[in-house]
Amino acid sequence: MSGIDISVGIKYRERALARNLGNVALVAIAWFATTAAVLQGLRDDLDWVRAPLSFYLIGPYGPWLQSAYVILAGAIAVLAIGYFRVTVDGPGRQGVLLLFLVGAVALAITAQAETDLGGDRKLTVGAIIHAISAPLAFLGTTLGMLGQSWRFRADPHWRRRFAIAFGLALFCFAALWLHALWRELPRGLSQKFVVLAILGWLALAAAWLRQPPSMNPD
């Protein structure tokens, strides 16, 4: 077998792997979005405008959302690995992968650590862990989104995805900081808006990964 044949075979396998990872990620993202949406109706003990998603991890149906968090964490990791495999090598490639993996691990930890529900109770160890891991999950994921989108700009195979990917990632990052700093906003509604925007970017990235571009530069 010639060197060209081997190279073509490797590229074909990488594209096939990317498609499979994209499929897995898209299903996982859809599962999380569906679970979180359904719980907004099932949990009539919580005000969906004021209660952040973390409150839904505790009480009725909590284990369902906990598992959905872990599944979403897996989707983030899968996307990170997929794009690491199909984008060209260059500055920041390993850093983007690391940011996504930090976000994924932090999200999985967040699902298991009980959040502070307020009041005069002393903070538990779980609440302290949750207070650290939840922002880390948001930051790791959104910074990974920005980094991956920026890398599209320098990749001849993915360059045409740069504008929409970077624009949406920048919007998600700005919305995250608006939610964090503007404390007068309804906490549940603003957080869920940020989550929905991030899910939009992740779903778009998964859909693109399902149909990776030709390995021949434009």
99 in any annotated domain: yes
Distances (CA, A) of 184 to 48, 54, 168, 180, 197: 16, 19, 24, 10, 20
Please give the structure tokens belonging to residue 30. 């859809």
* Sequence-distant (≥ 6) Cβ neighbours of residue 170 within 8 angstroms: 146
Task: Please give the average per-residue pLDDT across 144-158, as a whole number.
Answer: 95
Global pTM reads 0.91
123 in any annotated domain: yes
Compute the distance between CA of residue 28 and CA of residue 154 in angstroms, rounded to an integer.
29
Higher pLDDT, 10 or 192: 192
- CATH number for the domain that contains residue 138: 1.20.1070
110 in any annotated domain: yes
pLDDT at 194 > cutoff 60: yes
58 in any annotated domain: yes
Determine the pLDDT at residue 213: 72
218 in any annotated domain: no
Summarised one tens digit per residue, pLDDT across range 100-133 is: 999 999 999 999 988 766 655 677 888 889 999 9
198 in any annotated domain: yes
Compute the distance between CA of residue 201 and CA of residue 108 in angstroms, rounded to an integer.
19
* Number of domains the chain contains: 1
Largest CA distance in the chain: 72
Task: Please give the average per-residue pLDDT across 60-71, as a whole number.
Answer: 96
Give the residue numbers spanning the domain of 59: 12-210
Compute the distance between CA of residue 50 and CA of residue 56 in angstroms, rounded to an integer.
12
Q: Which residue has the tokens 């959302």?
A: 65
Instruction: Report the SS3 class of residue 167.
Output: helix
Compute the distance between CA of residue 28 and CA of residue 35 in angstroms, rounded to an integer.
11
Check the CA dihedral 70-170-80-132 and report its sign: negative
157 in any annotated domain: yes
116, exposed or middle or buried, with CB in 10 Å at 0-12, 13-18, 19+?
A: middle
Distances (CA, A) of 183 to 67, 167, 186, 189, 190: 29, 25, 8, 12, 10
156 in any annotated domain: yes
